[in-house]
Chains A and B, each alone.
Chain A
Amino acid sequence: MKSARTALIIDDEKQIRRLLRVALEGADHQVYEADTGQAGLAEIVHRRPDVVLLDLGLPDMEGVKVLRRLREWSDVPVLILSVRDDAEEKVAALDAGADDYVTKPFDTAELLARIRVVQRRSLTETGEPVFASGRLCVDFAARQVKLDGQEVKLTPTEYALLRVLVQNAGKVVTHGQLLRTVWGEKAGSQAQYLRVYVTHLRKKLEIGTDAPRLIKTEVGIGYRLSTDAA
């Protein structure tokens, strides 16, 4: 079997591991499994996977702890699997270095899309000069934004915000990450600036849609620039 990529599943539930294996093998991944945090860390050293799927509720150690250990020496893309519908826990995991998350019960198609996105990041780290997806086109060199081929005038702050979201297209970006990148460390927890500018951006970029299709809100966590908005 040709397997371009390898994936490691760290989850203590055998049934979930079996299902993820089927889905990932269907998407041309070679799959390894671990049922504890310790075993998972050992497997990452041993197998050097292209992507890690990490459950937050492991029997031997907190998933966030696994992440911190892992991030000391590896920047492998990590996707969090969580049954707990707790925004704070997800933010903690994202801040500890996770790339994205899905909440169980998850949609397999969505899970595979997320896996593609977190892996793409590590391939295009250097960055393309132009981003085009759906109706949106951003030319980083010219600092130019186009919607349906028409140029959209953005203020420097709006542009800076859009740029961060575009650079992480398809991935969730937390409130903290956005505030720090756009306004700097002193912005702290002043999340209302973020709301105001997200609203501005949506007004300029989401024309003719009744619900946000481009900049999606992840409640309590952050925003995600959708790449499948047609």
Chain B
Amino acid sequence: MPESPGSPPFNGAYASGAAPTNDAERPGRALGLIQEYIAAIVGVAAITFACWLLEPFIGYGSISLIYLLGVLLGGMMLNRGAVLIAAGLSALCWNFLFIPPLFTLHIAKVEDALTFATYFIVAITVGSLTAQLRAREHLAAQVQVAHESERLRKTLLDCVSHELKTPISAITAAGQELLRLLPDADQRAVLEQLATEICHGSQRLNRVVNNLLDMNRLESGVIQPKREWCDVRELLQSAVEIERDSIEGREVRLAVPNDLPLVLVDHALIEQAVAKLLANAGAHTPLRLPIELDAAYRNGELQLSVSDRGPGIPVGSNDRIFEKFYRGDDRKTGGLGLGLSIARGFVEAHGGHLTVEKRDGGGARFTIWLPVHISDSKEWEIPP
């Protein structure tokens, strides 16, 4: 089954109160599960009444065909259980009310017994077959809708990504080219400042676009970790490299045990999660205070923590800081407030979790907990 969080067009069509079983989930259905059973019983009762009126003219044998027609129609609209109930109930009604001796379940003639048995089997088979057929059709339609909405989402993302990033590329490239070609003129200082502004502006814009695209990818549930063997030290170093600008002026203390084995993780995803935590630490830590980056492996779990000496987490907002667009009390740090939320999303997409705690002596510590496989550090020496 394709994943479904990305296909909301569907949900509105479900009948309220329908139990979420495979049988009950039908698009565009007007009835709930209980109502379907009631409809089956009412339907049989209605047909029985009609047959009661018709019986003098057509004889009790033909009544079974009218019942069968009812079961067949039921199969097109109701779930399998309701159809089976309609089949069973109609067989009983026919026997009780129409087959002589009347008002008993006893059947006097052998041919009546034979017709009754045949009716019972045909009704149940037909009912169950039509219901199955419909379930299959429904599944195929659902798969198609899911594919379609996935295709639309991807097209939209690609488009937005392309349409926003192309002008950003142009601005970035133009700004940098301007900086590179600055003439030796009187205005040089002013020109340089303007070009630098263009570069910084486009960097910031690019960051926002990336965050929005990441958030969208997370919410549509399309992120599938691509695990590969990673050197944790290298992963942390490249995260520091990414955020070099936002943690400028603060010492980053990297502590990775020397015997930490290679781990099987999605390098890009976890590197981005660590980078978001670093950016957050950079935004809230006063200059010159260190940011500590630690790694440890215990009982099948990799722990990566980012600790700062900032103001810490306001009391009671431990969970709120991971919410989208939450920006803390000091709005001066800027940004959309998506960083921590994306970090948490990436970590959870990887089967892990992200926690935050108060540090002794002030500050906050964010820890990424990831279930990982480790390598036995195999070597494969080629012959000299």
Contacts and interface: CB of A to CB of B under 8 A. Distances in A.
Given A83-B166, A108-B176, A210-B254, A217 B234 contact: yes
Given A106-B172, A191-B229, A196-B377, A160 B180 contact: no
Interface SS of chain B: helix
A57 B177 contact: no
B271 interface: yes
Interface in B334-384: 375, 377-384
Interface string B193-205: 0000000001000
Contacts of A87: 226, 268
B238 interface: yes
Contact of B380 (A16, A193, A210, A211): A193
Nearest to A197: B379
A107 interface: yes
B169 A106 contact: yes
A19 B173 contact: yes
Contact of A195 (B202, B230, B381): B230
A179 to B, nearest CB: 10
Given A183-B380, A196-B377, A109 B231 contact: no
Given A105-B206, A156-B384, A210-B237, A15 B161 contact: no
Given A26-B181, A217-B238, A104 B169 contact: yes
Nearest to A158: B381
B27 interface: no
Contacts of B276: none
Contact of A220 (B226, B231, B382): B226
B382 A182 contact: yes
A105 B204 CA distance: 12
Nearest to A19: B173
Interface residues of B, number: 44
Contacts of B328: none
Nearest to A57: B162
A192 B176 contact: no
A144 interface: no
A219 B169 contact: no
Contacts, number: 113
Contact of A19 (B170, B226, B268): B170
A191 B228 contact: yes
A197 B231 CA distance: 11
B120 to A, nearest CB: 58
Given A19-B174, A156-B382, A219 B267 contact: yes
Contact of B162 (A83, A106, A195): A83
A219 B238 contact: yes
A22 interface: yes
B228 A220 contact: yes
Contacts of B381: 155-157
A212 interface: yes
Contacts of B165: 83, 104-105
Interface residues of A, number: 43
A141 B348 CA distance: 51
Contact of B170 (A15, A88, A160): A15
A88 B230 CA distance: 17
Contacts of B238: 211, 217, 219
Interface centre among A16, A155, A157, A192 (most CB of B within 10 A): A192
A16 B241 contact: no
B241 A211 contact: yes
Interface in B220-240: 226, 228-231, 234, 237-238, 240
B273 interface: no
B172 A105 contact: yes
A69 interface: no
Interface in A164-186: 182-183
B177 A23 contact: yes
B168 to A, nearest CB: 5
B166 A109 contact: no
A147 B327 CA distance: 48
Contact of A196 (B171, B379, B382): B379
B262 interface: yes
A109 B173 CA distance: 9
A82 to B, nearest CB: 10
Nearest to B267: A219
A192 B229 contact: yes
A104 B172 CA distance: 9
B167 interface: yes
9 contacts: A22-B177, A83-B161, A104-B169, A156-B383, A193-B380, A196-B262, A199-B231, A199-B234, A220-B268
Given A183-B380, A190-B380, A211-B240, 4 more contacts: A16-B170, A105-B206, A191-B228, A192-B378
